[in-house]
Amino acid sequence: MTTFPSGPGVQPARPRRRAFLRGAAGLAAGLAHGPAPAQTALAALADSPCATWGTALTGPAPASSMLSFNNQTLRLIVRASIGGARVRVRLSNEWGNAALQVGAAWLGIHAAGANVAAASNRQLRFNGKAGATMAAGATLSSDALDFPLPPFAGLALSLYLPGAVQAASVHDAAFQTSYVSATGDHAGAAAMAVQRTLYSWPLLAEIDAAGPAPGSATAAPASALVALGDSLTDGARSSGNADRRWPDYLARRLAAQRPAGWAPVGVVNRGISGNRLLADSADTPLAGRAAVERFERDVAATAGARYLAVLVGINDIIRSPSANPVTADQLAAGYTRLAARAHARGMLALGATMPPFEGYTWYTTARDGVRRRANDWIRNGGAFDAVADFDAVLRDPRQPTRLLARYDSGDHLHPQDAGYEAMAQAVPLGLFAP
Reported as a single tens digit per residue, the pLDDT across 53-95 is: 999 999 988 887 789 999 999 999 999 999 999 999 999 999 9
Look at 32-36, 267-271, 368-372 and tell me which has the smallest mean pLDDT: 32-36
Confidence band, pLDDT 50/70/90 cuts, at residue 223: very high
SS3 labels along the chain: CCCCCCCCCECCCCHHHHHHHHCCCCCCECCEECCCCCECHHHHCCCCCEEEEECCCECCCCHHHCEEEEEEEEEEEEECCCCEEEEEEEEECCCCCCCEEECEEEEEEECCCCCECHHHCEECCECCECCEEECCCCEEECCCEEEEECCCCEEEEEEEEEEEEEECCEECCCCCCEEEEEECCCCCCCCCCEEEEECCEECEEEEEEECCCCCCCCCCCCEEEEEEECHHHHCCCCCCCCCCCHHHHHHHHHHHHCCCCCCCEEEEEEECCCCCCCCCCCCCHHHCCCHHHCHHHHHHCCCCEEEEEEECCHHHHHHCCCCCCCCHHHHHHHHHHHHHHHHHCCCEEEEECCCCCCCCCCCCHHHHHHHHHHHHHHHHCCCCCEEECHHHHHEECCEEEEECHHHECCCCCCECHHHHHHHHHCCCHHHHCC
Taken as a whole, the chain contains a residue count of: 434
Farthest-apart Cα atoms in the chain, separation: 62
Reported as a single tens digit per residue, the pLDDT across 271-286 is: 999 999 999 987 788 9
Residues 32-66: b if buried by 16+ CB within 10 A, e if exposed = bbeeebbeebbeebebbbbbbbbbbbbbbbeeeee
Confidence band, pLDDT 50/70/90 cuts, at residue 43: very low
Q: What is the pLDDT of residue 372?
A: 98
Reported as a single tens digit per residue, the pLDDT across 112-128 is: 999 999 899 999 999 99
What value does the mean pLDDT take over residues 279-299?
A: 92
- pTM for this prediction: 0.89
Is residue 209 within 8 Å of 223, Cβ to Cβ?
no
Looking at every residue in the chain, the average pLDDT score rounds to: 89
Reported as a single tens digit per residue, the pLDDT across 303-361 is: 999 999 999 999 999 999 889 999 999 999 999 999 999 999 999 999 999 999 999 99
Residue 14 has pLDDT above 50, yes or no: no
What value does the mean pLDDT take over residues 362-383?
A: 97
CA R_g for the chain: 21
- Classify residue 409 by burial, with Cβ atoms within 10 Å: 0-12, 13-18, 19+: middle
Is residue 384 within 8 Å of 339, Cβ to Cβ?
yes
Is residue 285 within 8 Å of 62, Cβ to Cβ?
yes
Q: What is the pLDDT of residue 152?
A: 98
Q: What is the pLDDT of residue 6?
A: 32
Confidence band, pLDDT 50/70/90 cuts, at residue 434: confident
Residue 45 has pLDDT above 60, yes or no: no
Q: What is the pLDDT of residue 47?
A: 67
Reported as a single tens digit per residue, the pLDDT across 94-104 is: 999 999 999 99
Q: What is the pLDDT of residue 62?
A: 82
Residue 142 has pLDDT above 90, yes or no: yes
Residues 6+ apart with CB under 8 A from 71: 161, 162, 163, 164, 183, 184
Q: What is the pLDDT of residue 130?
A: 97
Dihedrals φ, ψ of 62, to 5°? -55, 150
Residue 255 has pLDDT above 80, yes or no: yes
What value does the mean pLDDT take over residues 266-273?
A: 98
Residue 230 has pLDDT above 70, yes or no: yes
What value does the mean pLDDT take over residues 127-136?
A: 97
